[in-house]
Amino acid sequence: MTAAIDPFHAIAIGELAYGLASRGRSIIHMEYGQPSTGAPAAAIAVAHRVLDSDPMGYWENPQLKARIARLYAKQHGVRIDPDQVILTCGASPALVLALTTLFAPGARVALARPGYVAYRNTLKALHMVPVELDCGEAERFQLTAAALEAVEPAPEGVILASPANPTGTVIAADELARIAEVCRARDIRIISDEIYHGISYVGPVRSALAVAPGALVVNSFSKYFSMAGWRLGWLVVPPGLVEAARARMGNLFLTPPSLAQHAGQAAMDCRDELEGHVATYARNRALMLEGVARLGLSHIAPPDGAFYIYADVGHLTGDSLAFCRRMLEETGVATAPGIDFDPVHGHRFVRFSFAVSTPLVEEALARLEPWFAAQPRVAEPV
């Protein structure tokens, strides 16, 4: 029997937004968690050269794997062998590889709620059991060691995300160490989604590998490297699981696109350009924090990283999907409904992505301020 999984509602909002744009409406896309910038210029130049000179095929770039291994040594003080790096077709297949390498159907895997919609739905699709831990404003919407320690019986695994989607919050280094200790004591395997590493407003963010060498780490070129459409990611696995993970990659996905691998290797040396993107996100973050206050949205956790504001709109609606649709149709600003990230409390939340240009952030706030001011308040449940 196949598993029933929920749709990704932000995609439906995006489709509506593009439909409105095709009819001449001015649309600002804040529904998707993707940079509005393209791949770095040097990466695009390499791709042009490769198109003319390389017939390409099934291939895993050894130079790129070695370059990724050096990244962990330089940024996190963690030594890994390049063979532990498995190149994937983005972070989504890396998550599938991690889950199927570690767990059998029926396994219980803990995760924070709110959290990225695909964690819950991928677990369900693989006939595993998501154990969602309610993480509210007091916890800055992040999983804690205490919450994980309280789960009975202990889950087989846990998915961590720092910075997180939809909130951008980071697990503090000391809390991450405590989580790792709980996992060691309770024999819980860690999968750490580090796709937003590099996009931080609070300094360097610690990799789970620094405190849990046996963790499986998911990452991608989609966010910091601004290459979402190139479909290139990686999974770091401990030495004893390399063979099992590689077998799954080869059978399920073969290899990531050769062109993307060439371009990704070049992108890793484009730090000045990429840090310029992060500086733009930081400006956008400041504008959004000021702007959502003017919109009357006071219940948020200011993002430590990534490029999201996750805001409570429960005083205005009890149906975040309908609210986002109406906001789009009436203002041209597309956002993501909270029910994607939290099926319990998400009906009262909306996620704004500020990965667009700074002028578009300013224009979006200018459109939203009078619209929010005109919205009637609703009676909140007791």
**Residue 2 domain-assigned (yes or no):** no
- 366: enclosing H helix or E strand: helix 358-373
Instruction: Point out the domain boundary residue: 269, 289, 310.
Output: 269
Give the per-residue pLDDT at 379: 67
- Judge if 179 and 32 occupy the same domain: no
What is the Cα–Cα distance from 73 to 56, expressed in whole angstroms?
30
* Nearest CA-CA partner of 215 in 171, 178, 243, 184: 184
Give the per-residue pLDDT at 371: 97
Residues 334-377 pLDDT 10s: 999 999 999 999 999 999 999 999 999 999 999 999 999 999 99
Q: In which residue ranges of the chain is pLDDT below 70? A: 1, 379-382
DSSP, collapsed to helix, strand or coil, labels residue 260 as helix
- Judge if 29 and 59 occupy the same domain: no
Q: At what angle do helices 41-53 and 258-267 cross, to 10 degrees?
A: 140
Q: The domain that contains 167 carries what CATH number?
A: 3.40.640.10
- Judge if 175 and 96 occupy the same domain: yes
Is residue 110 a contact partner of residue 159, using CB atoms and an 8 Å limit? Answer: yes
Hunting for tokens 């909130």 — which residue is that? 167
- Judge if 314 and 285 occupy the same domain: yes
Give me the count of residues in the chain.
Answer: 382
What is the Cα–Cα distance from 198 to 69, expressed in whole angstroms?
16
Residues contacting 124, CB < 8 A, separation 6+: 3, 4, 5, 130
- Judge if 244 and 301 occupy the same domain: no
Which domain range does residue 19 map to? Answer: 9-39+272-373
Tell me the DSSP string of 301-322. ---SBTTEEEEE-TTT-S-HHH
pTM: 0.95
- Judge if 277 and 360 occupy the same domain: yes
**Residue 368 domain-assigned (yes or no):** yes
Give the per-residue pLDDT at 5: 84
Q: For residue 350, list its beta bridge partners.
A: 311, 337
- Judge if 310 and 355 occupy the same domain: yes
Strands (E), 269-347: 308-312, 333-334, 336-337
Number of domains in the chain: 2
Instruction: Point out the domain boundary residue: 240, 269, 298.
Output: 269
- Judge if 62 and 136 occupy the same domain: yes
**Residue 169 domain-assigned (yes or no):** yes
Single-letter code of the amino acid located at 96: V
Give the per-residue pLDDT at 7: 86
